[in-house]
Structure formats: C-alpha cells, structure tokens
Amino acid sequence: MKHYLEKLIAGVHLTQEEMQDATRYCLTDVATNSEIASLLTALQAKGETAEEVAGIVDVIRAESTFRTSPILNAMDNCGTGGDKSYSFNVSTTSAFVIAGAGITVAKHGNRSITSKSGSADVLEALGISLNFTKDQVDELLHENKIAFLFAPNVHNALKPFTRVRKELGIATVFNVIGPLTNPVELDSQLLGVYRKDLLPMLAESLKRLGRRRALVLTGAGSVDEATLAGENHLILLEDGELTSFTLRPEDVGLPYFSKDEIRGGDAKRNAEILLSVLNGKKGAYYDTVLLNAGLGIFTNGKAETIIEGIDMARESIESGAALSKLENLITYSKKIPSGVI
C-alpha cells in the first residue's frame, strides 16, 4: 500500500491491476483506517482515471454475494446523485417505464444522501421491500423484468470504506462509482452524473467494465438526469467507440420545463409523483420521464433512435405496462417476511 500511496501522491496514475490490489487490501482486516483514508484522499487529489475506477469497481462487484451470471440484455439506469437539485425520483420512475417496454432492469440504488428521497426511500414508501435475496432478485428479473438491489445489502464487504468515508466527510471516488458497482452482469447502462467534466472518464470506465452499449449524460442545469431545461451533454458507448453529442427538448419534440418544475419532496410526495406519472398524468414530471425512459430504451438498443425510444416509453405508460411492473413488485414484496435478508 505504501508504494501505491507514494505513486498517487506524486501524481502517478495506478494501473487497473494495481487499483484492484489496493482495493482488495483495504477490504482485509490488516488495513488501517488511515491507510484507507490516505488512498481515497490521494486519489481525489490526483483525479481518478478510468483504469483506477474500473479497478475499484471490479473488486467491489467480485466481493458482492449478489454477483450474477449474465442475464439476457439486462440494464440499469441510475444517477450518481449529488446534484442537490431536489428533483423527484426520475430514474426510479423511468425504470418501471423501461421495464414496461420489455427490457430487463436491475435497478441498483440507495437511500437519500443529498436529496430528500433516494430510490430506496421512494420504493419503500410504495411498499416495496429492500430486502430481496439474490434468488428473489433473479426470479424478479426473469418474471417481472425489474428488481431492486439495495446497495447496503448487496455490498456488505464495503464496511471498511463506509466507516472511513463517514469520518472523512469529503467527496471521494465513491461519490461517483455507485451506479457502476451493480453486481448484476449488465449488457447496457444509462448513467447520469451532475459534473460534465466526468463524462469522458465514466464512459471509458463503462467500456473497461465490458458494457456493450452505454450512455453517460449530464442534464441541463448540471444535474444527474436528462432534463427539459435546455442542453443536455451525452456520450454514447457503442461497439467500443465513444461519441459525444448534445440534446435539447426541441430535438425530440418535447416542451421546455425548468428545473424548478420537476422538484420533488419527501419519500411520500415523490411516491405520489411516481404514481401520477405511471397513471399517465401529463406535465413536467411525465415529459421528463418520457425523455429519460426514452434514452434508456435507446441505450439498451431496443429503439434505434431516441425519438423512437420516447414513443416506446409513452406506450409503456399509456398501455398500463409500466404501472403493472410496479404493482407486481409491490405484490411480491408482501410475501417477504419483515427483516429477512
């Protein structure tokens, strides 16, 4: 570890293999809090590379007891959080719409950190269990096309990092890698991040992690979802190639809505918004979900264009398919004894 710390302090990047080695060491009983803290702060000060991020993620996923064999054409749509926009749960609502379009969604998420309601908070408010076992997740992915993986349950080995991060109280690489650590073998991924400067690094990380297709974006107004407030910045990963482009509401036939018009509230309020969208109530929330779900469907490859993806998202809602995915998840959750993990 000393060798790796010296390299980082000198501004030298670690290879993916070196980062894997350092991360494995941090998860042992031998590693001290000061060593883990030094690694995280040195990485942050230097600036993490795609190789280093992929190295950390490789180990985190390998240590998860929820690691699965490949599931045909599965995807995730998740933002890094941290934008402090206090929007409603856009990606969680969109996940049901994507699943309603026939795509398998392994939704990875956590409780709120910088907002009033994280994905876990709003799903819990809707009556969805956070305690699905690996076998239950597998069953739901095959039968319902959507399941929720609560990050603390699927990443038990990360307690040494969690403890140190709380003590540090500063942003580290863990503030952006959460969506990458989904233990399900994903084919494609839609990833939002509020910092535009991180788009190339995260896109390259997804390439190194083996995604067939991926779309990384920063929404207008520097948020971790696509918005209808102006120009969104995106990078598409397809067949190993990265392509940058921008997207405005008028490009896909949707109206303009400011960030303030998609603000949410606590978990109960955001659950109400989610249900209103899946029940087809038109407005800023609905159109924002159309955009993000449409991007997800396009990212997966089921739609050849973003506009076609938006049309499929609209059909998923209007046909009741998206709402059905939610209702199935609630019904399934009622069968699970409280507290069972």
- Helix, strand, coil share of the chain (percent; to 5): 50, 15, 35
Token look-up 């482009």 returns 245
Q: What is the pTM of this model?
A: 0.95
Cα–Cα distance measured from residue 230 to residue 144, given in angstroms and rounded to the nearest whole number: 35
Is residue 53 a part of any domain in this protein? no
Could you tell me if residue 65 is inside a domain? no
Per DSSP, which regions of the chain are E strands? 75-79, 105-109, 146-150, 188-192, 213-218, 232-238, 241-247
For the chain (341 residues), the mean pLDDT of every run of 10, in chain order, is: 96 98 96 96 97 97 84 89 84 98 94 73 95 93 95 89 90 91 94 96 97 97 95 97 98 97 94 98 98 98 98 98 98 76 39
Residue type, 174: F
Q: Which residues are annotated as a binding site for 5-phospho-alpha-D-ribose 1-diphosphate?
A: 79, 82-83, 87, 89-92, 107-115, 119
Closest CA to 91 of 61, 55, 115: 115
Name the binding residues: 79, 82-83, 87, 89-92, 107-115, 119, 165, 224-225
In a domain, 315, yes or no: yes
Total number of domains in the chain:
1
Token couple for 231: 């120009």
Q: Which two tokens stand for residue 110?
A: 């956590």
- Distance CA(338)–CA(129), nearest Å, equals 8
Element (H, E) at 187: none
Query: Considering the domain boundaries, does residue 138 fall inside one?
Result: yes
Quote the domain boundaries for residue 248.
74-154+184-332
Q: Give the closest residue to 214 by CA, choosing from 194, 186, 195, 233.
A: 186
CATH number for the domain harbouring residue 209: 3.40.1030.10
Q: Which residues contact 285 (CB under 8 A, 6 or more apart)?
A: 88, 93, 262, 273, 276, 277
**Residue numbering of the annotated binding site for Mg(2+):** 91, 224-225
Q: How far from chain centre, in Å, is Cα 264?
A: 19
**How buried is residue 241: exposed, middle or buried, by Cβ count under 10 Å (0-12/13-18/19+)?**
exposed
pLDDT confidence of residue 341: 39
Helices (H) and strands (E) in the chain, counts: 15, 7
Ordered strands of the 232-238 beta sheet = 146-150, 105-109, 75-79, 188-192, 213-218, 232-238, 241-247
Contacts of 78 (CB under 8 A, 6+ apart): 91, 107, 108, 109, 119, 178, 179, 182, 189, 190, 191, 192
Please give the C-alpha separations between residue 228 and each of 177, 258, 305, in angstroms, as whole numbers.
25, 7, 18
Question: What whole-number distance in Å separates Cα of residue 49 and Cα of residue 307?
Answer: 33
From CA 165, how far away is CA 168, in angstroms rounded? Answer: 5
Supply the pLDDT for residue 34: 96
> What are φ and ψ of residue 128, in 5° steps?
-95, 135
Residue 168 lies in a domain: no
User: Residues at the annotated binding site for anthranilate?
Assistant: 79, 110, 165
pLDDT at residue number 330: 97
Looking from the CA of 158 toward its CB, the CA atoms found within 13 Å total 21
pLDDT of residue 338: 56
Q: How many other β-carbons are positioned within 10 Å of the β-carbon of residue 196?
A: 13
- Asked if 229 contacts 257 with a C-beta cutoff of 8 angstroms, the reply is yes
Whether 164 maps to a domain, the answer reads no
Alpha-carbon separation of residue 280 from 41, 59, 309 (angstroms): 46, 41, 17
**Residue 289 in domain:** yes
Identify whether 57 is part of a domain. no
pLDDT on residue 286: 98
What whole-number distance in Å separates Cα of residue 246 and Cα of residue 217?
9
So what's the pLDDT on residue 43?
A: 97
